[in-house]
Structure 1
């Protein structure tokens, strides 16, 4: 599993392996969702209501994708998807407390971590990225459509990952130059 988004909300949007047709969905069944959450650094401690939470998690994932994907092309996201992310964020804020960490204050949710708190954290990540940016550094992989925040020095990142889509694309282009007349 690769986490290449450089923001929790983008990694969450990338829980399907490609778009528009996904061959793997990390939010399809509870066990995969738990594995993804652990790998993303947001382990779910109370798992009892995970099965019931998965449809809402998939809805939030798609809203986050539809918010950030147009931004990678300089377009505005659909209002309905912005409102969906805002609703989850507002619900999270109603349960959050301001706490100091690393010299600044931020919102934190009470333990134990549940599927619901994970969704709040995703929505908070989306709200933070939307309000603070840098939106000009958003990108989408041309091969799999994964979203990422380009943190490279020169700001010219093209693929989700050089080890997967980047190397495949380069190999495809190389092969095309060698086999064309």
Structure 2
């Protein structure tokens, strides 16, 4: 798992997508054990530097992941996000705001947390990413892969992205259609 493809175009979407290997039924959960969570966070470029409390925080990490996924999956399909899921994201975000501070970079302030990077910091960053996307959009560019159900932000110029990734689901779908056409 050292080479993951981050295709969501937002931290919250990558967290919801990439910490499980498939949806709707996952065969692998990268938030199953502290070691797996450490491996995923490092591969995603968000390494957890201090594993203290990691095992105890994994149930909350899984709850946040599923709430984020359900919120953005609903929005990608033109549905309303559920209040309990929005509340779960907002609760983690509120905790992060209470423990964070503002840092200035290039004339813009952003919410930040000091070292060391713990699992709590990762969850606060995920929740902050979700709130940023929910409040500033562009929500009309959310999409859902028809093959694996991952959610993504379509940043393509022509707004025609169909899959999470052309190299995995897109290629598989095109091959399937090609061979189905040849056998008819």
TM-score under structure 1 length normalisation: 0.97
In the alignment, the residues of structure 2 paired with residue 120 and residue 45 of structure 1 have an alpha-carbon distance, to the nearest angstrom, of: 15
Task: Decide which moves more: 51-60 or 122-131.
Answer: 51-60
Match of 1:22 among 18, 23, 26: 26
Structure 1 SS opposite 2:23: coil
Out of 8, 12, 20, the position equivalent to 1:5 is 8
Secondary structure of 1:154's counterpart equals coil
Q: What are the equivalent positions in structure 2 for 1:119-158 lying under 5 Å apart?
A: 119-158=123-162
Q: What residue number does 2:96 align with? A: 92
Any idea what SS the aligned residue of 1:65 has? helix
Offset from partner CA, 1:78-128 (integer Å, 9 cap, x none): 000000000000000001111101321011012111111110000000000
Q: How does 1:30-69 map to 2 (within 5 A)?
A: 30-69=34-73
Aligned pair count reads 180
SS at match of 2:50: coil
For 2:74 and 2:164, the matched residues in 1 are separated by 16
1:138 and 1:150 in contact (8 A); partners too: yes
1:31 to partner: Cα distance: 1.8
Confirm whether residue 159 of structure 1 aligns to residue 163 of structure 2.
Answer: yes
Q: Aligned partners of 2:106 and 2:159: how far apart in 1?
A: 27
Q: How far 1:164 moved relative to its partner? A: 0.5
Q: What is the match of residue 77 of structure 1?
A: 81
- Please, which runs of 5 or more residues in structure 1 have no aligned partner? none
Distance 1:96 1:131 in 2: 19
Deviation (angstroms), 1:158: 0.5
CA distance in 1, matches of 2:136, 2:5: 25
Instruction: Determine the C-alpha separation between the residues in 2 that align with 1:33 and 1:128.
Output: 24
Runs of 4+ displaced beyond 2 Å: none
TM-score by length of 2: 0.95
Q: CA offsets per residue over residues 42-65 of structure 1, 9 Å max, x none?
A: 111110211111111001000000
8 Å contact 1:8–1:40 — kept in the other structure? Answer: no
